Amino acid sequence: MHSFIPPERFFPYLTWTDIQSMPDKENVVIIQPVGAIEQHGPHLPLIVDAAIGVGVLGKAMEKLDASIPAYALPNLYYGKSNEHWHFPGTITLSTATLTTIIMEVGESIYRAGFRKLVLMNSHGGQPQVMQMAARDLHVKYDDFLVFPLFTWRVPNITKDLLTPKEAALGMHAGDAETSIMLSILPEQVKLEKAVAEYPPEQSESSLLSWEGKLPVAWVTRDISKTGVIGDPTTATKEKGDRILESVANGWVQVIQDIYTYRQAKVEKD
């Protein structure tokens, strides 16, 4: 049931008495991986985002110093994936439903006495949901520290291994995701079916972009026929092993930082 997570770090394997007697609960790091079940082109399974999150977290938990108390909650497989729902197999929650789930999970963790919750999101279509839910949880519980983090944003070498075009435009099911899946779940990758497809180019005079500071709202079928936005044909397991190791190392650093983090307090006059 724990998948890639070390069993001693898997929250559901604890008993209620384990949790009741746990020391220094306000600094124990609880991590909620959040993925998605959505299309990833003809060569990758629907589970990509969920698999990457749990695969990275499991590797990080293996590396984490045993003296740092941190536990992984069960992966939340479904996310807000309606940008992909024109491709069969995608399962999506609404923004409201996903927000409610995150809020109620967070409230349960708080009620158990924990005060640090990481929302480890691996799907690019929902960082804003994580950020708003995290803020609302902190507004509701002043001493609850909630960290809405994106799996790929920790320090890592991924972009160094990609072509400049892929690093700039490879947003979905491209080289990086395919390579790391070759490392995590190689038997589920159909590399012979991989195709490269990039989004239509924006006008050079335009300030707008598909992603970035001034984005346009889009759904996948607007910019891709295959569901791929990038070039997976250059993916390799060797590259994926390096990416997995690097992203996991970044997460070790982040978990350590969160463990030692203390709530900021402005002194009142």
Tell me the whole-structure pTM to 2 decimals.
Answer: 0.96
Q: In what order do the strands lie in the sheet with 116-121?
A: 70-72, 29-34, 116-121, 145-150
Using alpha carbons only, what angle is made at residue 61 by residues 59 and 62, rounded to the nearest 5 degrees? Answer: 65
Can you tell me the distance from the alpha carbon of 255 to that of 261, in angstroms, rounded to the nearest whole number?
10
Can you tell me the distance from the alpha carbon of 32 to that of 29, in angstroms, rounded to the nearest whole number?
10
Q: Which long-range contacts (CB under 8 A, 24 or more apart) does 223-226 make?
A: 223/199, 224/172, 224/197, 224/199, 225/197, 226/41, 226/42, 226/195, 226/197
Report the candidate in 49, 260, 256, 6 with the shortest Cα–Cα distance to residue 155.
Answer: 256
Can you tell me the distance from the alpha carbon of 240 to that of 252, in angstroms, rounded to the nearest whole number?
18
The pLDDT score that the predictor gives to residue 223 is 95
Report the candidate in 229, 228, 239, 245 with the shortest Cα–Cα distance to residue 182.
Answer: 239
Can you tell me the distance from the alpha carbon of 197 to that of 159, in angstroms, rounded to the nearest whole number?
18
Residues in the chain: 269
The pLDDT score that the predictor gives to residue 213 is 85
Can you tell me the distance from the alpha carbon of 230 to that of 163, in angstroms, rounded to the nearest whole number?
11
Can you tell me the distance from the alpha carbon of 176 to that of 167, in angstroms, rounded to the nearest whole number?
9
Residues in the chain where the model's pLDDT stays below 70: 269
The token pair at 87 is 């491709």
Q: Which positions ≥6 away from 257 have C-beta within 8 Å? A: none
**Cα separation of the two ends of the chain:** 52
Can you tell me the distance from the alpha carbon of 170 to that of 192, in angstroms, rounded to the nearest whole number?
19
The pLDDT score that the predictor gives to residue 269 is 67
The pLDDT score that the predictor gives to residue 102 is 98
Can you tell me the distance from the alpha carbon of 156 to that of 153, in angstroms, rounded to the nearest whole number?
8
Report the candidate in 234, 140, 221, 99 with the shortest Cα–Cα distance to residue 178.
Answer: 234
